[in-house]
Amino acid sequence: MMHWWLTAAVSVLFVLPAWAADGSTSEKAFREVREVVKQLQARYEKTNDLQADFSQKTTIEGFERPVTSAGKVYIKKPGRLRWDYLDPATEQIYVNQDDVKVYVPEHKQVLLGKLTHMAASKAPLELLQGAAKLDESFEIEPTPGKIRGIGGTPLITLIPKAKEQESTQNLQKIVVEVFPKTYFIRTVSLHEISGNVAVFEFSNLQPNLGLGNEVFDFKTPPDTEVVRAPVLNGP
C-alpha cells in the first residue's frame, strides 16, 4: 500500500514554502536558503509536467539493511501523478486529484482508494492538488551542519509546524537537495520520528514534454480483481 512518504516526496517536486527565520542560525545561511527557494520556485512555476527516474532507499530502525527500489515517476499539473515501481517488483500507482489506483500485476489486483485516506501526510497531499501552501504546515530552515549538496548548494530543511496533528505526527523533517544551476530537485529525504529515513533520488528529469492524459489514465486489465481500500485515516 502507498506510503505517506511517497506523496510527500512527490509534492515537494513542485512547490516549497516561503522561508521562515530562526535566530539560532546565521543570517548568511538563511540568505543562501532563501535564494535557493526563490530559484527553485521559479523553476517549477514554469514546469507543467515532469518525467524522471527515481531510486528509493529506506532505512528502517532496527533493521540492518536498507530497503531499495527504483522506477519512474510522471507528474502533470494539477493533481495527476503516475508512480511506477520497476525494481525489485512491479507496482503502478495512479493519482487523479484525490482518487488513487494501485495496480499490482503479480497479484492481478487493483486497489481503489482516496489519497487522503491512504496516506498519513495530509498537507503534502493538498499541495499536490494545488489546494494548499506548504508554508501553512512547515517552517523552512537551513540544514544544520556543514553537509551540502552537489556543487556546494545549501540543503533545505522543512519542519512541520503542528506535530500533534495526525497529518504530521510521524514526520520529523524533510531535507531537500537541488541540482546546481537548474534548481530541479535532486533528492528528498524524509525523516520519521521513529528513526526511519526514506531517501528519494531523482535523475534524468525531463520537464514539459507535453505528457498527455493517457499516461495517467489506467485501464484495468482483464482477469484483474478490483478491491476498495479500507479507510486508514480520516480526511
Tell me the chain's radius of gyration from C-alpha atoms. 18
Residue 235 lies in a domain: no
Return the CATH number at 189: 2.50.20.10
Arithmetic mean of pLDDT, 199-224: 93
pLDDT recorded at residue 42: 80
Percent of the chain with pLDDT over 90: 29
212 has a pLDDT exceeding 50: yes
Residue 44 lies in a domain: yes
| pLDDT tens column, 117-129 | 655 444 444 444 4
86 has a pLDDT exceeding 90: yes
| pLDDT tens column, 34-65 | 888 888 878 877 888 889 999 989 898 888 89
**Total domains present in the chain:** 1
24 has a pLDDT exceeding 60: no
Residue 21 lies in a domain: yes
Which of 42 and 101 is assigned the larger pLDDT? 101
Residue 233 lies in a domain: no
SS3 of 66-129? CEEEEEEEEEECCCEEEEEEEECCCEEEEEECCEEEEEEHHHCEEEEEEHHHHCCCHHHHHHHC
Residue 134 binned pLDDT confidence (cut-offs 50, 70, 90): low
| pLDDT tens column, 142-158 | 898 888 998 999 998 88
- Cell (9 digits) for 145: 551542519
Segments forming the whole domain that contains residue 122: 4-228
Residue 151 lies in a domain: yes
Residue 190 lies in a domain: yes
CA distance 76 to 2: 19
